[in-house]
Amino acid sequence: MIKRYICRICKNKTITISSLRFLFYKCKICNNIYRPDHNKFNIFDYLKKTSFVKLSNNYKNKKNQFEWYLNFKRKSYKDDKYFFLTKFLKRKKIKKILDISGAPGLTGIEIKKKNKLNYEITEYNDKISKHIKKITGLSTYILDFDNIKKNKVPNKKYDLILIWYSIYYCKNIVHLIDFLKKRVKKNGYLVISQNIPNFAAITKFSITESYPPYVLYDHKFLVQKFQKSEFNLFDLKFFEEKFFIKQYFFKSKSFYNFIYNIICILISVYYIITNYFKISFTDLFLKDYLVIFKKN
C-alpha cells in the first residue's frame, strides 16, 4: 500500500503539487513545502546531449551546484543583501557578522569597506571554502545543512547571523536552531530571508534548477519555532510580488535562450493547468520575506 506523504515536522497530511523535476508536498497545517531527494524523469533528460543542458542546469547536483565559485572574480558587487545590511548596521552596535552560506563573500568585502567589523561566512564545500578565503580574505568555515553538528565554525558568539536565501536547503530546522542559539549573542540579531512557499516559487525552482531547495519555510512557522527558542520577533517585511513566468522567462540573451524560454513558458502553463484545483491566483506570484529576530 502506498503511504500518503506526511509533513516532516508536524506529521500531518500534505497536498502533492506536481512539478517538472519533482513532486512537492505542501503541509496544510504549517504551510511549509517539501521536496523529496530524487529527481523525476523530465523533458530536460532528453536534451542531455544538446546545448540546452547548460541552460536547463539539468546536470547539477549538490556536489557541483556551486562550483562556479571556484572561478569567481573579486569585484565591486552590491546586491539586496548589501543594501539591507548598509541600512541595518547604521543604528546598531554590530562588530561580528556570520553570513551562513554567504559565498562568494563579495557582499562581505563591500560591507567591510564602510564598516569596521568582522565578516565571516560559511560554505559546505571544503574546496570552495578555501578558495573564497584566498580570494576575499574573509574567514570561511564549513557548515553543511545536511550535517550541522559537524560544522567547523569556531565556538564564539556573533552580533548578527544572516541566513540569506539558504535556509531552504536545511532539512533539519531543530539542529539549525540549536546552532543559532549557541552562536547569536544576547541582544544579537538573526536575519532570515527567503521565498514565500507557494506554487510560483516551486515551479520556478523546479524548472530552473536540478538541485532546488528542500524546504520552503512559511514565515509564520519560522516565527513560532524561533520564538520558542529564545528569539523574539523584531521585524517582518514582505517584498513586491512578481509574476513568475514574466520574471524568469521573458528576457532572452541569445537564440538558444529564447527557445529555452519558450519551452519553460510552455512547461509553466502545463503545470498551472495540472495543479489548477490546488492553487489560487496569488500562488502564481513570487513573493519574498525577511524576518529579523532579536535574541533574549
Q: How far is the CB of 223 from Zn ion (least distance, A)?
A: 15
User: How far is CA 120 from each of CA 92, 115, 153, 162, 294, rounded to the nearest angstrom?
Assistant: 18, 14, 10, 10, 20
The CA radius of gyration of the chain, in Å to the nearest whole number, is 20
User: Which lies closer to Zn ion via its Cβ, residue 27 or residue 135?
Assistant: 27
Q: How far is the CB of 106 from Zn ion (least distance, A)?
A: 36
User: Which lies closer to Zn ion via its Cβ, residue 3 or residue 49?
Assistant: 3
User: Which lies closer to Zn ion via its Cβ, residue 110 or residue 218?
Assistant: 218
Q: To which H or E segment does residue 204 belong? A: helix 199-208
Q: How far is the CB of 93 from Zn ion (least distance, A)?
A: 38
User: How far is CA 201 from each of CA 108, 148, 243, rounded to the nearest angstrom?
Assistant: 27, 25, 10
Q: How far is the CB of 218 from Zn ion (least distance, A)?
A: 9
Other C-beta atoms lying within 10 Å of the C-beta of residue 47: 17
Q: How far is the CB of 241 from Zn ion (least distance, A)?
A: 24
User: Which lies closer to Zn ion via its Cβ, residue 9 or residue 23?
Assistant: 9
What is the rounded distance in angstroms from the CA atom of residue 285 to the CA atom of residue 244?
Answer: 6
Long-range contacts of 223-229 (CB under 8 A, 24+ apart): 223/291, 225/173, 225/177, 226/177, 226/190, 226/293, 229/177, 229/181
Residue in this structure with the C-alpha cell 512547461, named with its chain if needed? 267
User: Which lies closer to Zn ion via its Cβ, residue 32 or residue 140?
Assistant: 32
Residues that bind Zn ion (CB under 5 A): 7, 9-10, 12, 27, 29-30
Q: Which three cell numbers stand for residue 275?
A: 495543479
